[in-house]
Amino acid sequence: MTTTPEHAFLGEEFLTWLWYRSESGQATFTTDQGGAVAVAFDDLLVFGGEDENRMQQTLRRGLPTLSLEAKAALQAGKRLRKARLVLADGPEQWSFTLDGATLAFGSVRCPDPDGDDDEAAPTPAELDCARMDGFARLARRLDGVYRLFLDERLSDDWERASVPSLRRWIDEKRGERV
């Protein structure tokens, strides 16, 4: 996608907020759908400058959130544009790449809907349905987490508490060793 939607920064801030929450032990979210979902960062981070046409930095493989390059990018004020995430809800797990600017889902892997060996094999139609449902459930779960972010982002506490905490978290990365 080449055009950047209005308020694209909101999705990028959401990604950074998720990263902060995952590193501060607050990455389990109780959404308005009732269940608790956990979010973790996987093996891809893409950073960019304020201007979308400027150079991007992509970190792949291993645990890029722990890399010196990721810390340096954050401290240089680069925005987290894209990240590969793992979302877990009970025993179910989805992995996907989330584009902050568009909230488009890339390379999604859904929980296997084929069922346990003990259960009767699903019909082809049931299998198709379960696969579609896997994508839709991921989107709805992430919507729930995004809603929690919006609650915080649009509250008075954002400027007063959240931004200083995020800035402190970024600043404290200076002292960390890999």
Partner 1 sequence: MPRFRKSGSFTRCHVEGPMPKPGDEALVVALAKQRFRSIENAASEEHSVGWVSPGDATGGSFLVDEILLDPHVRLRVRLDRKRLPRVWVQIHLDSALRAREGRPPSAKERKELKDEIASRLLPRVLPSVGFVDLFWDPKEGEVYVFTTSRAGLEAVQKLWHQSFGSRLVETTPLELAFRAGLGKERLKRLERLAPVPFVPPPGETGRAPARRAPPAAAAAGDEGAAAQEAGR
Q: Minimum distance between the CB of residue 79 and partner 1, rounded to whole angstroms?
A: 8
Candidates 55, 120, 125, 178; binder of partner 1 (CB under 8 A) is 125
**What is d(CA 22, CA 25) in angstroms, rounded to the nearest whole number?**
6
Cα of first residue to Cα of last residue in the chain, in angstroms, is 34
Question: What count of Cα atoms within 13 Å lies in the side-chain half-sphere of residue 16?
Answer: 26
Three-state DSSP class for residue 90: coil
Running DSSP on this structure, what letter comes out for residue 175? Answer: G
Q: How far apart are CA 85 and CA 131, in angstroms?
A: 19
Tell me which of 82, 99, 141, 145 binds partner 1, using CB under 8 A. Answer: 99
72 counts as binding partner 1 under rule CB under 8 A:
no
Decide: is 60 part of the binding site for partner 1 (CB under 8 A).
Answer: no
Residue 9 binding partner 1, by CB under 8 A: yes
Residue 29 contacts residue 99 (beta carbons within 8 Å): no
Q: Which of 63, 66, 129, 161 binds partner 1 (CB under 8 A)?
A: 129
Q: Rule CB under 8 A: which residues touch partner 1? A: 1-3, 5-14, 16, 74-77, 97, 99-110, 112-113, 124-125, 127-129, 131-136, 139-140, 143, 146-147, 150-151, 153-154, 158, 163-164, 166-168, 170-172, 174
